[in-house]
Structure 1
Amino acid sequence: MASGANPSANKCLFDDHLLQAIGIKKDTSAGRDDCSYIDMFAGKQGQATYIKMFVPEEGLFEPMEKPKSGDWLKEHTERGQTFKQFITGSYRSPDSVHKTVYLLPMVFKEDPVPPEVIAPLERFAAIFFGMPASVMAPESFLGRASDRVNAGVYQVHAGELLGAMGKNLKRDAFCCAGITMADLYPRESWNFVFGLASSAGNTGVYSLARYLSNFGDHQYTRIDLTSSSMQDNVPRDWSHVRHSPLRAFQVSNERQQPPG
């Protein structure tokens, strides 16, 4: 248990339901006008001065609407996750050695990820994760994982790529993210997957192919930077996919298992 000082003198500014949701309870045992707060999660520091990070600004968060036809939640049942489940779950943090995010451009038979795309990704990763990011030299992974042609589009087995990436991990790597313009699939029965990750192996692979407006026009991804093929083209209908395309999997003993 860890107690924190009141962030605002003589005032209790936080909604009791919000505190309960994030795992902090009000301590009034001292019988004073001001309040102190107790972290309800053993081993997790939760000073009351940090509570303000969980208080949403008015107007920024709207209640989730009822799923409509074509929405993922309309077609698939999800267990969901509370903040308590998230904060008490297992997660990794960088340390004095493993503190760099590496981006690995992966090439098969398609056009490689252009510098105009990978450079902004490098900057974004460094800012978002708060640690150095570095782009590795492009590498061909052709023949190092199963592949297929599905609906006229060349695809590579994402799970097998995770195992093949082991030798690319550098000593100071927090993780290594493979970035490719090839379409991916996680198993034979699935249509596609945007990405797959192994928390145990510190590796992940992610495809940008389906963000192209000309996706599906060619068996192998073709990029024309002079056209609109790189425009924002995020798919909206996930109902035909066998599982959430953005969901990460933990790989153990050469088998992919959904988390939880």
Structure 2
Amino acid sequence: MCASFNNLFSVPTDRERSRALGDTYQLPDSIRRAVTVGINECFLPFPIPNEGDWVTINQERGQTVEAFERTIQTIPHGKVPSLENISEFSSHFFPGCRLETLPQIDFTDLPKNSRMGQRIDTYTKKPQYSATLIIDHLKKMKRRQRKNDTEELFCIGVTMADIYPYSSWNFVYGLASTIDGIAIYSFARLDPSFPDIELVGPCTEQERILILKRAISVFVHEIIHLFGIKHCIYYLCLMNGAETEVEMDGQPLYLCPICLRKMYTATGKDRKIFNPVETYHDILDACQKFHFKDEAAWYENRLNILTTLTNE
């Protein structure tokens, strides 16, 4: 990435995290407990960054729940990871929403101006495609399908091709256009053997699980951005920004209390369908099904804390 080191970032204090979460007194009991009970036992504060980490390169002031609610938009009523598995797991983060897999689009079918975004990456010597031009193409496709606007919240494109957002950037894992409700992300760099994929042997079970976990993490992260939720700097959270694979793998597969409350506002506040305990149970089952052992242990522990304190 072409950027300079940011010496101004400081890890939020307990008081700043509390202010970001906001007043919880008026919340329904289920969401109030999910964002206030046993927090120190389950959620680690955002760590002191190393030089080169996301927050040292990018200006992140943090988005409070109150700020999010002021800007929220009205929402109408081999090695390749399985898109079906990704959709199945990710759907539990968005209660009341249905994820539908659409037909495949071949890059050779894209308009000429979109294909002009192809380049060869200087470091990997592999082809890359412009994420912004792909989003423009998806935007035009969505306009041609206006009849489904009342049902479709967002359109997410996924690809095995490497992508970049701007000419000055080396690459990007994913890119979202919140205003348009469209995002694109790439599986290419989720493989630990990238860019020498052709030179290594078959994928091990451990690598398969890692690639799937990374794919789900990026997929859910990008969709949550489309709801208007920005990067989190308050706790270790699924919505932390990531500049490297090390940062990506250090992110948990769960939302911190502040981002969980934002998703409650975005998806369930009016329809009363957002039940964190039920969501945690569903995600725990999915973690066990796909052999995400550490994540399953976290969700099991979180449920035990919420259940135990409920019964006391």
Calculate the TM-score normalised by the size of structure 2.
Answer: 0.50
Distance 2:35 2:153 in 1: 27
Q: Is structure 2 residue 189 aligned with structure 1 residue 190?
A: no
Greater share of residues in helix: 2
Q: Who is 1:232 aligned against?
A: 210
**Cα deviations by residue, 1:114-149 (Å, 9 ceiling, x for unpaired):** 4x5111112123222121111112111334321101
**Cα deviations by residue, 1:163-217 (Å, 9 ceiling, x for unpaired):** 1013443413211110101111111111111111122222111101111122111
Distance change >3 Å, CA 62–CA 208, structure 1 → 2: same
2:84 to 119, 124, 131: 119
Map 1:134-213; keep pairs closer than 5 Å.
Answer: 134-142=100-108, 143-144=110-111, 145=114, 146-150=117-121, 151=123, 152-169=125-142, 170=145, 171=148, 172-213=151-192
**Cα deviations by residue, 1:60-80 (Å, 9 ceiling, x for unpaired):** 122222112442223444222
Helix, strand or coil: the match of 2:82? helix
Distance change >3 Å, CA 192–CA 17, structure 1 → 2: closer
Root mean square deviation of aligned Cα: 3.4
Distance 1:223 1:122 in 2: 30
Q: Who is 1:23 aligned against?
A: 22
Structure 2 spans left out of the alignment, 5+ residues: 1-14, 215-244, 249-312
Distance 1:80 1:19 in 2: 13
Structure 1 spans left out of the alignment, 5+ residues: 1-15, 26-36, 40-45, 96-110, 239-260
- Decide whether the 8 Å contact of 2:118 with 2:129 is kept in 1: yes
Q: Is structure 2 residue 63 aligned with structure 1 residue 81?
A: yes
Which one-letter code corresponds to 1:192 in the other structure?
Answer: F
Helix, strand or coil: the match of 1:200? coil
Distance 1:132 1:71 in 2: 34
Distance change >3 Å, CA 160–CA 21, structure 1 → 2: closer
2:42 to 57, 60, 79: 60
**Cα deviations by residue, 1:13-40 (Å, 9 ceiling, x for unpaired):** xxx9987654338xxxxxxxxxxx5x6x
Q: Who is 2:75 aligned against?
A: 93
Which one-letter code corresponds to 2:48 in the other structure?
Answer: K
Which one-letter code corresponds to 1:149 in the other structure?
Answer: I
- Decide whether the 8 Å contact of 1:197 with 1:204 is kept in 2: yes
Greater share of residues in strand: 1
- Decide whether the 8 Å contact of 2:158 with 2:187 is kept in 1: yes
Distance 2:16 2:195 in 1: 48
Q: Is structure 2 residue 93 aligned with structure 1 residue 128?
A: yes
Distance 1:19 1:214 in 2: 41
- Decide whether the 8 Å contact of 1:183 with 1:192 is kept in 2: yes
Calculate the TM-score normalised by the size of structure 1.
Answer: 0.59
Map 1:239-254; keep pairs closer than 5 Å.
Answer: none
Which one-letter code corresponds to 1:186 in the other structure?
Answer: P
* Structure with more relative contact order (C-alpha pairs < 8 Å, separation 6 or more): 2
Distance 2:17 2:201 in 1: 47
- Decide whether the 8 Å contact of 2:193 with 2:200 is kept in 1: no
**Cα deviations by residue, 1:149-174 (Å, 9 ceiling, x for unpaired):** 11202111001111101344341321
Which one-letter code corresponds to 1:232 in the other structure?
Answer: L
The number of equivalent residue pairs is 185
Which one-letter code corresponds to 1:66 in the other structure?
Answer: I
Distance change >3 Å, CA 18–CA 175, structure 1 → 2: closer
- Decide whether the 8 Å contact of 2:87 with 2:99 is kept in 1: yes
- Decide whether the 8 Å contact of 2:130 with 2:163 is kept in 1: yes
Q: Computing the radius of gyration over CA atoms, which structure comes out larger, 1 or 2?
A: 1
Report % sequence identity. Answer: 25
